[in-house]
Amino acid sequence: MNIIAAVDNNWAIGWKGQLLVRIPNDHKQFRQETMGKIVVYGRKTLETFPQGMPLEGRVNIILSKTPDYQVKGAQVVASVDALLEKLRAYPSKDVYVIGGASVYRQLLPYCDTAHITKIDHVYEADAYFPDLDRNTEWELTADSDEQTYFDIAYTFLRYEKRTKKF
């Protein structure tokens, strides 16, 4: 299973329910990586999407503690166990965890590849992704050349779990 996020130098991902910064090339990379695949995310992440609608061209699965929560165009599960059972129907390589912070923390142990856009800046933030550089289970296996969007420098990184358990 994959996990995908844009993080700053402190592994921050959001502030007051929004992304820290919008970088068109990061969105393009996200779209290319997830199109036609299965995306897993929480209710709060859904609410940040345009019109609060699921992503087109993907199977959307929302992890929500609210038992009767329903979303047109998405499947909703109420627990990690229920999610893992539902994901058995799909190839693991086609599943992408896309946020937010709580969902990242809960599902990182089940992932074996992380696609990270690392933004060379520190933003004011209140939501964080687990720091893979300090996690000995993960290793950096690929990185792009540094890119810029106006004055924002960023790099596309891939981390892989050292011993794939799932």
**Per-domain residue ranges for the chain?**
2-161
The amino acid at 29: Q
pTM of the model: 0.95
For residue 118, what pLDDT is reported?
A: 98
| Whole-Å CA distances, 98 to 18, 110, 152 | 14, 14, 22
| Whole-Å CA distances, 58 to 14, 33, 67, 92, 126 | 23, 11, 23, 15, 28
The Cα 104–Cα 96 span in angstroms is: 11
* 165: confidence class by pLDDT, cuts 50, 70, 90: low
Distance of CA 117 to the CA centre of its chain: 10
Supply the mean pLDDT for the chain. 95
User: Which CATH code fits 2-161?
Assistant: 3.40.430.10
For residue 164, what pLDDT is reported?
A: 56
* 37: confidence class by pLDDT, cuts 50, 70, 90: very high
Tell me the pLDDT tens digit for each residue of 76-131. 999 999 999 999 999 999 999 999 999 999 999 999 999 999 999 999 999 999 99
State the average pLDDT over residues 46-64. 95
Q: Return all residues near 130 (Cβ < 8 A) that are at least 6 apart.
A: 11, 104, 105, 108
